[in-house]
Amino acid sequence: MKIQEKLNGIYIPMVTPFNKDESVNYSGLREVVDFLAENGVDGVIPSGSTGEMIAMTPEEQMRVNEEVVRAADGRVKVVCSTGAYRTKDVVRMSQAAQAAGADGVMVVTPWYMAPNTDELYAHYKAIRESIGIPVMMYHNPYYSTCLLPDEFIAKLYDDGLIDAVKERQADVFRQQNLRYLTDDHFGIFYGYDICPVECMSCWSDGWVVGTGNLFPQENTKVYRLAKERKMEEAMQADFTLIRPYLDLFIKPTAKGLPAPWLQIIKEGLKLRGVDAGYCRKPVISELPGDVYQKLRETLRHYGYLDA
């Protein structure tokens, strides 16, 4: 069964605010939805990687998804992340998302003990047979350990099991190849934060961008220009609106540790007046001093903090 509605647009895999005791901060969750909706994005994805899904129980994922659909109230589309290792958990959460009024679900491939393609086919078949809203596969071999060939992803689409893919490999050729292997009804989403203009020029229908939590207006402007095929303007906007903050997320800390991107987003949102809460351990919420200073400097550059 192929879903007729095609997913497209700029979607933000939104953070999940937690209280200091690690309970879900539902008031903060609504603030994040309002902030993103007011800044022009097309949709949000709750309970994804940026939403700390691996630190949440299925019951929490379902409740967060439901609350986000309610908070969005039709202002933006909501594609609920319902990924889990066990197929029956994914089916249950996907059915709950549909019942809550979600516009679709995003399902990352099972992780750790990476399933083979026969097992994955059965996994997505079970999901498709359980719901009647669009299914976006999240292909992220870096986190899930599951690297799939384009031909297999195309087969899942051709057989009616998925309707879109979030492609995290950041490979322009993969996107070109996926379009060649499918048709215009298949939604191809670029799934990383760098090089959006290049990827939007190669048959992407949408962009799922985590840093858009903190800079939704800037990301949306670049996306719109690229979608309108105003490539020179889009590249200039990329340099002026996106490039200035990228070092914050990709450069190591003074101690040589990887950039704490999740904490940067949450602390940055708080500095912008949005209650993004804390992270769940083992992630430590507090930012190193050098990163916090760089975050403040970056927000001042964009005019979001006074000098």
> Rounded CA gap, 209 and 11, in Å?
7
Is residue 269 a part of any domain in this protein? no
Q: Which has the closest alpha carbon to 163: 189, 191, 200, 130?
A: 189
> Rounded CA gap, 206 and 253, in Å?
31
pLDDT of 4: 61
Q: What is the Cβ-side half-sphere exposure of residue 269, based on CA atoms within 13 angstroms?
A: 28
3-class SS of residue 80:
strand
Instruction: For strands 77-81 and 104-108, give the pairing.
Output: parallel
Burial of 279 (C-beta count, 10 Å sphere; 0-12/13-18/19+): buried
pLDDT (tens digit, 0 to 9) for every residue of the chain, 307 residues total? 455 678 999 999 999 999 999 999 999 999 999 999 999 999 999 999 999 999 999 999 999 999 999 999 999 999 999 999 999 999 999 999 999 999 999 999 999 888 999 999 999 999 999 999 999 999 988 888 888 999 999 999 999 999 999 998 777 888 889 999 999 999 999 988 888 888 788 788 999 999 999 999 999 999 999 999 899 999 999 999 999 999 999 999 999 999 999 999 999 999 999 999 999 999 999 999 999 999 999 999 999 998 6
* Torsion angles phi and psi, residue 50, rounded to 5: -65, -25
Q: Are 253 and 290 in contact (CB under 8 A)?
A: yes
Q: Give me 305's structure tokens.
A: 């903090």
Q: Which has the closest alpha carbon to 76: 163, 13, 2, 136?
A: 13
pLDDT of 175: 86
Total domains present in the chain? 1
pLDDT of 307: 67
Is residue 252 a part of any domain in this protein? no
Is residue 274 a part of any domain in this protein? no
pLDDT of 1: 45
pTM of the full structure: 0.95
pLDDT of 172: 80
Is residue 106 a part of any domain in this protein? yes
Q: Are 226 and 200 in contact (CB under 8 A)?
A: yes
3-class SS of residue 159:
coil
Is residue 164 a part of any domain in this protein? yes
Is residue 125 a part of any domain in this protein? yes
Is residue 237 a part of any domain in this protein? yes
> Rounded CA gap, 89 and 86, in Å?
5
For 48-64, write each residue's pLDDT tens digit.
Answer: 999 999 999 999 999 99
Burial of 113 (C-beta count, 10 Å sphere; 0-12/13-18/19+): exposed
Is residue 250 a part of any domain in this protein? no
Identify the CATH number of the domain in which residue 123 sits.
Answer: 3.20.20.70
Q: Which has the closest alpha carbon to 187: 1, 6, 51, 32?
A: 6
Per the structure, the complete domain to which residue 92 belongs is given by: 9-243
* Torsion angles phi and psi, residue 139, rounded to 5: -100, 100
